[in-house]
Every structure is written in C-alpha cells, then in structure tokens.
C-alpha cells in the first residue's frame, strides 16, 4: 500500500508543480492559439478552400500530439538526467521502489500533459474541429506511451521548442503511418500515430 | 554472550571508477564510524568526498568494496539502508514550487510514515501535530505553508534537516550543509545540529570545506585523490611532534627575512613572519637569529595548518 501512496504523492507533486508555474500555464494557453489559430487558420484561409482539406483539424491533431509528447517525454527525461541533482535525489534516496518512482512520474507527467491538452481541446471545440469522446479518451494512453519513449526524447535538441516536424510531419500532408512505427522517431511520428 | 552493536557505517576497500575515467575517484578506502559518533570527511575538490557519500546513500553504485550501514549490507539491502539514513544534500533538494509542509508531506509518504492524502487537512491528526511541532521548533509556524522559494537559505536548510529527521534515521549524512550560507545562518544551523544530535543521538557523517566545522567532529578523515591520507580525532590529526610554528616580527624585516632564508626555514609573511619549525626547536631558531625581534611567540598547529601540511606532503 505504501508504494501506491508513493505513486500518488509523486504524481500529485508533478501536477501541483505545473499548476503553480505561471509561465508554463501561460504557454499552455498561448501556444495552441499561435499554432492552431494563426498557423492553421492562415493555411485554411489560403489553401483550405482550394484543396478542400481541413487544415485546422489537421494542425490540431499535430499540436495535440506534440503537446502531449513533449510534456511527458521532457518530464521523464528530467527524471533520468537529474537523479543526482536537486529534488530528484530526495526521491531516489527514499526506501520506495524505483518502479514506484517511475510509475508515479509517468502518471504525474501524463496528468500534466492532459492538463496542457485541455485548453487545446477547448480551443478546437470553439473552432468546430470534430472530436469524438473516444478520440479525447485516447489522449491518456498516448501520454503514457510518450513517457515510455523518453529515451528517444533525450536525443532531441530542445523539447521546449515546438518541433515543426511534429506539427507538419514530412512525407506529405496525409496520415500514412501506423502507431507501431512511432518508436522510429517519436517526435516526428507520434502525431501521425495520433491522427491514425 | 551478546553481540557487539554494529557500526553505524562500515566501509571496506571501497573503489569507485567512473565510466571512461583513467583514475579511481575513490581508491580503496576503509573506515568505521561508531553509533552516535560525529565523523567528518575533509579534502580538496575532487578528493572523493561527495562520491563516497553518494555511494553510502545509495545514489551511486560502487565499483567494488563492501559497505554496511547499521548492520545492513548496502549491496543486498539497499531499501533497509535507506530507512536508516537521512541525507542533507550539497544542493538544496527541496521542491521550490511546493510549500514547506508539502515537501515534508511528500517525504513522510515516501518513507511510509503516513498514508497519502491530497491536502494537509486530510492527513492523519498525528501528521498534522508532528508538522506543527516541527514548525514550532524551526520558528516558522506561519512560513510552513508558504512556497519554499520564499524562505531564506538558512530556513530552507533547517527545513531540509527537519524533513531528513522525520523518519528518525540512525545516521544523518550532511554533504556540505552550510555551503552558500552566510555566517549568521551557518552558526544558527550548527547550533541546531548540535541540538539534533543531543536530542536524537543520531550518528552524523559530514563533508565540508570549513575546517572550523570539522574541528567539532569526534573524528575526521582527510581524503586526497580518493585515498585516506589522515584519520583520527582533530587533536590526533593536528598534533605531530616538532610541527610547531614560531611567529616573529622585527623592525628590520629585510634582515629577518635574509636570516630565516639563510637557515633554510619555511616561513610565510602575513603581517608577521610565521615560521614552520619542522622538527627544530624554537630555542635553536631564536638563538641563531641576530636581528632584534619586536614580536615572538610559539604556536601549536591548527587543523588548517595540519590539513595544508598533510596535503602538501602528498
């Protein structure tokens, strides 16, 4: 039971940390507006009518995938890199199992990712992007999978900077990849998997 | 026949070599710290102090060697070891985004002291009473619920110590606990640590660069290049026959300097001339000097003198 308590406490800490970080909260609201509203909106106005393609919906899924992935993967990378520094040490010298620390972190970062995705979803609803409850529910497993892809994320130069490949992945505008291939290059491929 | 109490910390032939390193960061050290003892690890930067303490606190794996903490084998019973020790890290390990109470709560839950509840008021009454007691001891009743980043450096350190003692550890590791603190905060922290030691009879293992802090220890150990170069009580480490100092001054300093140099004596000039006797007697040196002296006194080596001499001899 103690291990479950530890998992819950670690997860809660991550969520509290996010909710108290004013700059991250502002970014959570501003970034979707910039990427979806301005970029997706501009593309829709200029190309959408001519091609008959819904660029706002397309941008939304990319930004959503990127938000969830970056948040969770960066959190897990932090855990791996900072185990000798600062706060992470406190957890690693406690008698709690290493698995509980990792599970707590996965749960916490997934909750943070969902909290970050919430304004994006609300914004998408305002822009009338069609979204089913199943698609929204899919965000949780995607967040968990993103945590498990932390090793790949550590190879990325800077997770705080939005990756254009995540918003507009290469290989054309159409989704063409299966979720099973996201292990290849998750930052670029995860949004495809989400779309798929 | 009863078994003797196990040592608080026992280390045998500990070696740590980092990946791709050409030399050992810790090179075969062995030491024993008795229960209730205050033990200090000293040494220059890179001597292996923090590596040693990281291994003893289970955050770093040794390359070879054996370690027992309160009778538990660190290699096989890491979790039991973690229950026995408290750690005050070199860098503050509080979560700055949380309040003091939230930091304490997380620690209490990680150590299995109380069940998880998402808010202070939902925690068991025993926890709430303990937190109020701790806040009272620290004199931070009102600050306990404010974000840690708004507390002074000294207060943060005290909070870390309180947190580290919540699970009643038998051994408290202090890795440069006063680094970055001003003199007043440092003194206040040490006064508090003395109280802690008396109250909890806890074994303390300290690493520090401040020799006046190490002088308070029951025993100390000087590390250099990952090896033990001296170990004993501060008095034992400091005292070495014939290693006294002579403090001299003269109105004719040039002549005094020439005469000391002519006698092949090591000396330093810092307002007065401090001459290392190096197994000569003070009487012999004074008798050889012809220059009239304006100041003259002998001095026993301080821990700082001994420390510098030991490192220089290395």
Which of B192, B212, B231 represents a domain boundary (last residue)? Answer: B231
Q: Do residue B207 and residue B306 come from a single domain?
A: no
Share above pLDDT 90 across residues of chain B, in percent, rounded to a whole number: 47
Q: Do residue B74 and residue B201 come from a single domain?
A: yes
pLDDT tens digits, one per residue of B203-225: 999 998 888 889 999 999 999 99
Q: Determine contact, residues A167/A191, Cβ cutoff 8 Å.
A: yes
Q: Do residue B204 and residue B248 come from a single domain?
A: no
Which of B183, B211, B231 represents a domain boundary (last residue)? Answer: B231
| Predicted complex ipTM | 0.71
Question: B87 lies in a domain?
Answer: yes
Q: Do residue B169 and residue B219 come from a single domain?
A: yes
pLDDT tens digits, one per residue of B32-42: 999 999 999 99
Q: What is the 3-state secondary structure (H, E, C) of chain B?
A: CCCCCCCCEEEEEEEECCCCCCCCCEEEEEEEECCCCEEEEECCCCCCHHHHHHHHCCCCCCCEEEEEECCEECCCCHHHHHHHEEEECCCCCCCCCCEHHHHHHHHHHHCCCCCCCCCHHHCCHHHHHHHHHHHHHHCCCCHHHCEHHHCCHHHHHHHHHHHHHCCCCCEEEEECCCCCCCHHHHHHHHHHHHHHHHHHCCEEEEECCCHHHHCCCCEEEEEECCEEEEEECHHHHHCCCCCCEEEEECCCHHHHHHHHHHCCCEEEEECEEEEECCCCCHHHHHHHCCCCCCEEEEECCCHHHHHHHHHHHC
pLDDT tens digits, one per residue of A30-79: 877 787 778 878 888 888 777 878 787 788 877 887 777 777 777 777 76
CA separation (Å) from B209 to B90, B165, B223, B310?
12, 24, 12, 15
- Longest pairwise C-alpha distance within chain B: 82
Q: How many domains does chain B have?
A: 2
Which residues of B sit within 8 Å Cβ distance of A? 54, 57-60, 79-80, 82-83, 85, 87, 89, 91-95, 97-98, 102, 105-107, 109-112, 115-116, 118, 147
Domain interval for residue B293 = 239-313
Q: How far apart are CA A156 and CA A186, in angstroms?
A: 10
Question: B212 lies in a domain?
Answer: yes
- Give the CATH number for residue B284: 3.30.70
CA separation (Å) from B253 to A21, A151, B260, B267, B296?
64, 67, 10, 13, 14
Q: Do residue B165 and residue B56 come from a single domain?
A: yes
Which of B168, B201, B231 represents a domain boundary (last residue)? Answer: B231
Q: Do residue B166 and residue B48 come from a single domain?
A: yes
Q: Do residue B191 and residue B166 come from a single domain?
A: yes
Instruction: Choose, out of B50, B51, B91, B106, the residue to mutate when testing the contact with A (most A CBs < 10 Å).
Output: B106
Q: Do residue B227 and residue B245 come from a single domain?
A: no
- Give the CATH number for residue B32: 3.40.50.300
Looking at residue A177, what is its pLDDT? 39
Q: Which of A1, A21, A96 sits opposite B97 (nearest CB)?
A: A21
CB within 8 Å: A17 and B105: no
């Amino acid at each position: 039971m103690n291990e479950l308590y530890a998992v819950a406490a670690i997860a809660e800490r991550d969520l509290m940390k996010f909710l108290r970080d004013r700059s991250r909260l502002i970014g959570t609201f501003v970034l979707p507006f910039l990427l979806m509203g301005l970029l997706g909106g501009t593309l829709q106005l200029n190309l959408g009518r001519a091609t008959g393609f819904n660029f706002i919906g397309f941008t939304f899924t990319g930004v959503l995938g990127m938000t969830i992935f970056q948040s969770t993967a960066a959190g897990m990378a932090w855990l791996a890199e900072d185990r000798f520094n600062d706060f992470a040490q406190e957890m690693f010298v406690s008698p709690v199992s290493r698995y509980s620390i990792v599970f707590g972190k996965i749960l916490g970062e997934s909750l943070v990712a969902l909290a970050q995705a919430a304004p994006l979803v609300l914004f998408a609803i305002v822009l009338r992007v069609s979204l089913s409850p199943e698609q929204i529910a899919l965000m949780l497993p995607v967040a968990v999978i993103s945590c498990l892809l932390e090793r790949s994320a550590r190879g990325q130069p800077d997770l705080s900077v939005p990756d254009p490949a995540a918003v507009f992945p290469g290989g054309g505008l159409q989704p063409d990849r299966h979720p099973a291939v996201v292990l290849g290059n998750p930052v670029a491929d995860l949004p495809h998997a989400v779309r798929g | 026949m009863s078994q003797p109490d196990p040592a608080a910390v026992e280390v045998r032939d500990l070696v740590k070599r980092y990946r791709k390193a050409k030399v050992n960061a810790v090179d075969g050290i062995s030491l024993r710290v008795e229960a209730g003892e205050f033990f200090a690890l000293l040494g220059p930067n890179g001597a292996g102090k923090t590596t040693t303490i990281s291994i003893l606190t289970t955050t770093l794996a040794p390359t070879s060697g054996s370690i027992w903490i309160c009778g538990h084998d660190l290699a096989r019973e890491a979790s039991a070891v973690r229950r026995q020790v408290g750690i005050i890290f070199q860098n503050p390990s509080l979560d700055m985004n949380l309040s003091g109470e939230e930091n304490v709560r997380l620690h209490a839950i990680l150590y299995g002291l109380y069940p998880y509840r998402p808010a202070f008021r939902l925690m068991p009454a025993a926890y709430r009473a303990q937190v109020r007691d701790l806040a009272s001891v620290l004199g931070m009743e009102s600050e306990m619920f404010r974000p840690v980043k708004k507390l002074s450096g000294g207060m943060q350190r005290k909070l870390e110590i309180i947190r580290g003692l919540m699970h009643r550890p038998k051994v408290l590791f202090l890795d440069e606990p006063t680094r970055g603190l001003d003199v007043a905060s440092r003194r206040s922290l040490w006064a508090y640590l003395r109280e802690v030691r008396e109250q909890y009879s806890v074994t303390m293992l300290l690493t520090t660069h401040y020799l006046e802090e190490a002088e308070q220890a029951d025993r100390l150990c000087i590390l250099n290049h990952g090896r033990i170069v001296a170990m004993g009580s501060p008095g034992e480490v400091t005292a070495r026959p014939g290693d006294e100092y002579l403090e001299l001054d003269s109105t004719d300093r040039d002549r005094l300097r020439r005469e000391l140099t002519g006698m092949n004596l090591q000396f330093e000039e810092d307002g007065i001339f401090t001459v290392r006797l190096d197994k000569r007697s003070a009487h012999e040196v004074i008798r050889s000097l012809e220059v009239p002296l304006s100041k003259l006194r002998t001095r026993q080596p301080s821990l700082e003198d001994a420390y510098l001499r030991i490192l220089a001899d290395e």
